[in-house]
Amino acid sequence: MPHFHLVMAVVFAIVTAVAAHAKGRNSLGWFLAGLVIGPFALFVTALPNVPRPGQFVSCTACGEAIREDAKMCRYCGRELPRWEDRQMLLSGNASG
Q: Cα dihedral sign for 23, 72, 89, 60?
A: negative
Following DSSP, what letter does each residue of 1-13 receive, concatenated?
-TTHHHHHHHHHH
Which is nearest to 89 in space by CA: 60, 63, 56, 61?
Answer: 60
Burial track 72-90 (b if 16+ CB lie within 10 A, e otherwise): ebeeeeeebeeeeeeeeee
Give this prediction's pTM: 0.51
Q: What is the pLDDT of residues 6-48, one digit of tens each?
A: 888 888 889 888 888 887 778 888 898 888 888 888 788 777 7
Per-residue pLDDT tens for 49-61?
665 666 777 787 8
Query: Structural domain boundaries of the chain?
Result: 4-46, 56-91
Is the predicted pLDDT of residue 89 greater than 80, yes or no? no
Residue 65 forms beta bridges with which residues? Answer: 58
